[in-house]
Structures are given as structure tokens and as C-alpha cells.
Homo-oligomer: A and B are copies of this chain.
Amino acid sequence: MDEGAIRDLLARVSGGEVSVEEAVSALRHLPFEDIGFAKIDHHRALRCGQEEVIFCPGKTPAQVAQIGARILEHGHGLLATRADAEHFEALKETCPDAEYRPDARCILVRKTGQELRGLVLVLTAGTSDIPVAAEAALTAEFLGASVELISDVGVAGIHRLLRYAERLQQANVLVVAAGMEGALASVVGGLVSRPVIAVPTSVGYGASFGGVAPLLTMLNSCASGVAVVNIDNGFGAGYMAALINDMAVEGGGHGG
């Protein structure tokens, strides 16, 4: 898949430095690590430019601790999402630097010497959307973005949002977390010229159907420049926002 690496390998085969069998073996053993129940993708940092993240649901505290230890052996930071206190207790034994952020339901081992840059703005419609927004904010920060969270600026009191109109213009990318009817993403999308990542939350009741109502609202947004991630997927929104923020800071994209 990585043509450069294949090219090098082939050159060394051609030069006799590497035998055919060794090359086959090398191509087979791409850098992920098999620890039985999971395959840790150390290669992802190279391929996708980001560290490994643990999604905790369905994993025992012991499994999370074991995966976490392996990741940290390779010198990366670590982010574990949807983590509860038991996960944290287990992980802390092997990773004393780990910190638990209950508002975002995340465990975090920060990368040393990382400088935060750019600006990702995370907005919530109501106070109940904060856990999802906090996961997004923490994720983006873990990946190197400078982040601000502004909560409770839903559209039913539009002046609360408009007060931040100036700040909205300054962000490289915005994350909007909203449940109930999810209309905030459209209004924000109409106010800014930068990408808006909308994350519907399962906050609400009745015909909100666990987040389906804001999901549909956001997908049908009449504002351009809005894209959507899964219900309650704060991590996905924060990841996407960090990717874009990085590009906005660095520039020099292909063909520029």
C-alpha cells in the first residue's frame, strides 16, 4: 500500500540485500501488533498521522490497561474514550501519568512537549450536550488543537449565540453539539465561512428518538459547509476538527 516502502524493499531485493523470502515476510508483517484479542495499529500514526485511541465500551478494564500499556511502550500519548472509573483504575496502575476527565468520559495521557495551535470552537445548544462536546474538545486538544467550549447557546434564545458572532469568525473549524431539534448547526453554518462539524446528541425525549431528530436536522441543513458525524460521537467530531485545524495552520496543501 505504501509505494515508497515497497519501492525501498524491492530495491533491496534487487540489490541482493534482502532475500525473496525475507521480502515476502516483511510485506506480511506490517507494523501492527497482535495481542490476541486486539490488533494494535502502530502503523496508524504513520499512515493517518494520528495516535492510537481506545474505544472502551465492550472492553474490560484489564483489556484497556493491556492495550494502553502496549501503546505507551511505543512512546505515543494515549486517549481512551467512553471510559468509566474502573477503566481508569486499571489503566492507572501501568500508566501513572494517566488522568481521568469524567466530564468527557475520557482517560488521557498527554504527549509531552506538545504545543496547541489554531482554534477549534466547540458549541453546545444546551447544558445536557456538554459531555459529548467535552469529548470533542478533549480529543481535538489531545491532537494538538487549541480549543474553546461555549455552552448553552441554543437557537431558542438566539441572542445568546449572536453575542459570540465575532468569536465564531475566528475559529478555523467549529464543532456544534446539539440534541433535541439540533437547529444550532444550521444557524452557525449560516454565520461563518469555515467548516462546521455537527454532532447530534441523544439528549431529548419522545420524538427525539435517541438523537435521530437532530441527526436528520443536521443532515438536512440548509446551510452549506456543514458535515455530520454519528450521534454522540464527540470523538469523531473532535478528530475531524483537529485534522482540519492542522491544515489551516500549516497550509501549503498540494497544488497550492
Bound-state CA distance A156–B41 (Å) is 10
Residues of B contacting A206 with CB < 8 Å? Answer: 200, 202, 210-211, 215, 219-220, 230-233
| B-facing residues in A102-154 (Cβ within 8 Å) | 116-119, 125-128, 130, 146, 151-154
Q: Tell which of B2, B20, B227, B252 touches A11, judged by Cβ atoms closer than 8 Å.
A: B20
Bound-state CA distance A204–B217 (Å) is 11
CB pair A225 B243 closer than 8 Å: yes
CB pair A186 B220 closer than 8 Å: no
30 contacts between A and B (CB under 8 A): A1-B159, A3-B166, A7-B24, A10-B13, A13-B14, A28-B163, A29-B163, A39-B151, A63-B127, A116-B255, A117-B256, A118-B253, A154-B222, A156-B187, A156-B224, A180-B222, A187-B187, A195-B244, A205-B230, A205-B233, A207-B211, A207-B215, A208-B216, A213-B219, A219-B229, A219-B230, A219-B231, A225-B243, A249-B251, A250-B256
User: How many of chain A's residues touch chain B, expressed as a range?
Assistant: 35 or more
Bound-state CA distance A10–B160 (Å) is 21
CB pair B220 A216 closer than 8 Å: no
Q: Which of A30-38, A69-77, A86-94 is near enough to bind chain B?
A: A30-38
Q: Tell which of B30, B223, B229 touches A159, judged by Cβ atoms closer than 8 Å.
A: B30
CB pair B249 A1 closer than 8 Å: no
Where the two chains meet, the residues of A that have a C-beta atom closer than 8 Å to any C-beta of B are 1-3, 6-7, 10-11, 13-14, 16, 19-20, 23-24, 27-30, 32, 37-39, 41, 43-44, 47-50, 53, 57-59, 63, 116-119, 125-128, 130, 146, 151-160, 162-163, 165-166, 170-172, 180-183, 186-187, 189-195, 197, 200, 202-233, 235-237, 239-240, 243-245, 247-256
Residues of B contacting A171 with CB < 8 Å? Answer: 254
CB pair B247 A183 closer than 8 Å: no
Bound-state CA distance A226–B60 (Å) is 27
Residues of B contacting A48 with CB < 8 Å? Answer: 190, 192-193, 224-225
Bound-state CA distance A100–B152 (Å) is 26
Bound-state CA distance A236–B244 (Å) is 17
Bound-state CA distance A183–B19 (Å) is 36
Bound-state CA distance A126–B53 (Å) is 13
CB pair B244 A128 closer than 8 Å: no
Q: Tell which of B37, B116, B154, B189 touches A130, judged by Cβ atoms closer than 8 Å.
A: B37
Bound-state CA distance A47–B6 (Å) is 22
